[in-house]
């Protein structure tokens, strides 16, 4: 069989997993390669796994590669095991158990349970498939034909996938959240005490008592029962060695080991090499005997850690178990209180406060408005904002459904689908859409077509774009955020050609029609502006063969290359022409209240900070250069919204900020600032004055080895402190 696209990439990632000894990743990449070889996996297809429908959520690993596993499959989860045992099913055979569980949910008892869960919102779904039988249950009364169609589609996979939800407490959906209760519980499950604390605990509770007993045995070596007590001590010593131990107790020349050698010699009836009397005397001079030694040891015991993170983690996990696992925490204070008498365990004494790290983790899952989460620091990047948005858009998506139960199932389905990872697709294929899931289609047909559903998504889209640009002006919209924007635009009946960022290592040398539409919007919106002059945009009247134009502007001979840098240069030119969604939102939405001058200055401040952050890894340097160039492009787009006079004022602020940076940075970045000044004055900058993220060879604006250079020259390394917590 011919080599599939990405096979070498898969081999490379398997090698990395083997090197890192990651059992999960080793299993995944071996699965990918074995399936490729057997012909069970087609890389680049919307249905990559042979025999599985497009709506089935595949397990996706790095690079968008699917394994042959599925998100709704695999081992039985705890709630499945509990239900199987309740029904008297054997859980050792996963396929049989899952088939039986799916079928049970279609019995009268199972359907009644599903109906109750939907009505009371007492269910959780981590994958879209887990809402399928809920939908069937709700449709049986109103649209039985649709329910039968769904069942015909999914029943062949009853033995492999779970189509039923997990039970949970009733959910409160007021507000958004960054992390779910389940994510916090998963994090808590990995809590272990620091090794130094364990070593200290073992010293205080094991080794010091062993040391004292050893000295007593040496002093009483002729007493009755001495031999038995020595054997007991040796057994306890061997047991203590199995736990983390301070080196002082193992050191051959240390006091304990010297005393131990003397004890063993006496036990054998020989003559100890060390002077036993000297050993005993030294110990008693230092620690005393009887009550004096006991008092000293009690004082030392006070140093032992009373609150253990692994013990507290179990207490907090038990508190969180009472909450819906797929939601946030409505009231963090109800979970962060001190340990109660009924919760007390060893390592978790009653009245003890939770460690601050626990409180921070719980507060990271608090439910609040988007604005409150941004201001509170829970949302610190546009990627995090993108993660939260499905919780908002899901309610809009479910609007118009006739019952609250159907709306809750639809909201949950939308949120679960938003977690679906993108596949690596070839030949300009599109990702599977939510509407392609059979049970989603049936639910959406139930929406009231007469209600005015356009104004709400329009307001939501406008507000979310405003939030992203206001709080993260230096970042381009990530793909996950664009996906939510696209959905809201569709619900608002807006034709906005949003475009995703394309990875340079999988670029196939062509752009879809969506990119051509976006290019026309960008060229039209920015015609005659600072942005058009700075980047010397092409004439819109020219026939738009986007890939060829971008390759020509990048100085690349072909549109399809094996060089990642060449691909990156072409993609960046595409982003310049399309403006990577800025023109799309600014031309359609009412964003006139944005403070563009402030946003532009914050972009430059972020560029200064990132460009002067010492980096040693070459990949990190390349990523930094690319991201700062993208922030520079955002800055110029924002300045283009200003009048010529306002642009001059903004440029003075930028120059003033640049003057506060290191001498090395000022010299390196002077051409870029000169080019911007030239564009503001109405001229077109020269090619060496335009700051781009992708170049072939040495980048003129990238730092060489910033930290080394600054140390050698003794230059002043000054960073700009940014708002919104971008710099600690």
pLDDT of residue 724: 28
Computed on alpha carbons and rounded to an integer, the radius of gyration of the chain in Å comes to: 33
Cα-Cα-Cα-Cα dihedral sign, residues 99, 101, 104, 110: negative
Question: What is the Cα 441 distance to its own chain's centre?
Answer: 30
Question: What is the Cα 480 distance to its own chain's centre?
Answer: 12
For residue 670, count other CB atoms closer than 10 A to its CB.
13
Q: By three-state DSSP, how is residue 368 classified? A: strand
CA distance 647 to 680: 7
pLDDT of residue 723: 30
CA distance 475 to 607: 11
* Contact assessment for residue 385 and residue 370, using Cβ atoms and an 8 Å cutoff: yes
Q: By three-state DSSP, how is residue 100 classified? A: helix
Torsion of CA 406, 407, 410, 416, to 10 degrees: -120
pLDDT of residue 24: 82
* Contact assessment for residue 603 and residue 723, using Cβ atoms and an 8 Å cutoff: no
* Contact assessment for residue 477 and residue 382, using Cβ atoms and an 8 Å cutoff: yes
Q: What is the pTM of this model?
A: 0.66
* Contact assessment for residue 679 and residue 642, using Cβ atoms and an 8 Å cutoff: no
Beta strand residue intervals within 24-157, DSSP E: 58-61, 65-70, 123-124
Please, what is the Cα angle at 722 between 718 and 723, to 5 degrees?
160
Give me the DSSP letters along 15-49: HHHHHHT-HHHHHHHHHHHHHHHHT-B-TB-SS-B
- Burial of 213 (C-beta count, 10 Å sphere; 0-12/13-18/19+): middle
End-to-end Cα, the chain, rounded Å: 54
Residue identified by tokens 């054998």 is 268
* Contact assessment for residue 17 and residue 29, using Cβ atoms and an 8 Å cutoff: yes
pLDDT of residue 526: 95
Q: By three-state DSSP, how is residue 384 classified? A: helix
Rounded mean pLDDT for each run of 10 residues along the chain, 728 residues in total: 66 80 82 82 84 89 84 92 93 94 95 94 92 96 92 94 90 80 85 81 88 90 88 93 90 90 86 80 88 86 78 88 84 89 86 88 89 86 84 82 92 88 77 89 81 74 91 92 89 91 85 92 94 91 79 86 86 95 95 94 95 86 91 97 95 95 92 94 92 85 53 33 27
For residue 530, count other CB atoms closer than 10 A to its CB.
22
Beta-ladder partners of 176:
368
- φ, ψ for residue 433, nearest 5 deg: -100, 155
**Helix, strand, coil percentages in the chain from 3-state DSSP, rounded to 5:** 60, 5, 40
- Burial of 495 (C-beta count, 10 Å sphere; 0-12/13-18/19+): exposed
Give the residue from 463, 474, 454, 465 showing the smallest Cα distance to 396. Answer: 454
Contacts of 75 (CB under 8 A, 6+ apart): 94
CA distance 378 to 184: 14
């Amino acid at each position: 069989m011919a080599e599939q696209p990405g096979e070498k990439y898969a081999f490379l990632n398997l090698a990395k997993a083997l090197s890192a000894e990651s059992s999960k990743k080793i299993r995944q990449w071996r699965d990918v390669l074995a399936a490729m070889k057997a012909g069970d996996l087609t890389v680049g297809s919307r249905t990559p796994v042979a025999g599985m429908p497009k709506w089935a959520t595949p397990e996706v690993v790095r690079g968008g590669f699917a394994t042959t596993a599925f998100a709704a499959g695999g081992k039985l989860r705890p709630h499945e095991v509990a239900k199987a045992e309740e029904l008297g099913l054997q859980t050792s055979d996963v396929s049989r158990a899952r088939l039986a569980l799916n079928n049970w949910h279609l019995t009268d008892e199972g359907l009644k349970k599903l109906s109750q869960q939907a009505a009371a919102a007492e269910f959780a779904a981590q994958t879209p498939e887990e809402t399928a039988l809920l939908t069937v249950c709700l449709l049986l009364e109103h649209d039985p034909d649709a329910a039968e169609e769904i069942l015909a589609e999914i029943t062949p996979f009853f033995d492999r996938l779970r189509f039923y939800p997990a039970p949970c407490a009733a959910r409160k959906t007021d507000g958004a959240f960054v992390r779910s209760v389940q994510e916090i519980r998963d994090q808590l499950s990995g809590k272990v005490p620091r090794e130094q604390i364990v070593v200290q605990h073992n010293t205080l509770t094991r080794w010091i008592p062993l040391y004292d007993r050893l000295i007593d045995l040496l002093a009483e070596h002729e007493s009755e029962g001495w031999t038995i007590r020595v054997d007991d001590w040796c057994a306890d010593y061997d047991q203590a060695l199995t736990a983390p131990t301070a080196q002082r107790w193992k050191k051959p020349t240390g006091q304990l080991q010297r005393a131990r050698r003397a004890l063993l010699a006496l036990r054998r009836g020989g003559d100890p090499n060390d002077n036993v009397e000297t050993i005993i005397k030294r110990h008693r001079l230092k620690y005393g005997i009887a009550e004096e030694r006991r008092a000293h040891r009690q004082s030392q015991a006070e140093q032992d850690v009373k609150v253990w993170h692994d013990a507290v983690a179990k207490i907090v996990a038990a508190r969180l178990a009472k909450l819906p696992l797929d939601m946030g925490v409505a009231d963090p204070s109800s979970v962060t209180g001190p340990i109660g008498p009924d919760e007390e365990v060893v390592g978790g004494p009653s009245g003890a406060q939770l460690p601050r790290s626990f409180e921070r983790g719980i507060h990271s899952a608090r439910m609040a408005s988007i604005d409150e989460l941004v201001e509170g620091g829970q949302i610190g990047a546009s990627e995090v904002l993108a993660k939260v948005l499905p919780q908002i858009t899901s309610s809009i998506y479910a609007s118009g459904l006739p019952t609250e139960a159907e709306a809750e199932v639809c909201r949950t389905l939308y949120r679960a689908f938003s977690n679906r990872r993108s596949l690596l697709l070839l030949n300009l294929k599109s990702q599977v859409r939510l509407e392609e899931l059979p049970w989603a289609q049936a639910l959406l047909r139930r929406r009231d077509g007469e209600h005015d559903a356009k104004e709400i998504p329009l307001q939501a889209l406008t507000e979310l774009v405003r939030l992203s640009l206001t709080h993260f002006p230096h970042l381009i919209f990530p793909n996950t955020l664009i996906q939510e924007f696209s959905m809201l635009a569709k619900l608002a009946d807006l034709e906005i050609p949003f475009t995703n960022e394309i990875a340079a290592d999988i670029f196939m040398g062509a752009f879809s029609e969506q990119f051509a539409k976006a290019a026309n919007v960008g060229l039209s919106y920015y015609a005659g502006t600072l942005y058009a002059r700075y980047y010397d945009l092409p004439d819109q009247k020219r026939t738009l063969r986007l890939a060829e134009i971008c390759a020509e502007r990048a100085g690349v001979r072909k549109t399809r290359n094996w060089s990642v840098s060449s691909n990156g240069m072409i993609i960046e030119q595409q982003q310049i022409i399309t403006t990577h969604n800025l023109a799309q939102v600014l031309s359609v939405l009412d964003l006139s209240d944005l403070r563009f001058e402030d946003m532009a200055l914050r972009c430059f401040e972020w560029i200064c900070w990132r460009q002067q952050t010492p980096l040693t890894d070459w990949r990190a340097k390349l990523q930094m250069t690319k991201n700062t160039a993208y922030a520079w492009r955002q800055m110029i787009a924002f300045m283009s919204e200003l009048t010529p006079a306002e642009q001059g004022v903004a440029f003075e602020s930028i120059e003033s900020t640049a003057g506060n940076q290191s001498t090395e940075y000022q010299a390196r970045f002077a051409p870029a600032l000169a080019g911007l000044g030239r564009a503001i004055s109405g001229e077109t900058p020269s090619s060496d004055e335009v700051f781009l993220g992708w170049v072939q060879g040495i980048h003129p604006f990238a730092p060489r080895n910033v930290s080394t250079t600054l140390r050698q020259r003794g230059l002043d390394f000054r960073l700009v402190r940014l708002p919104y917590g971008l710099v600690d």
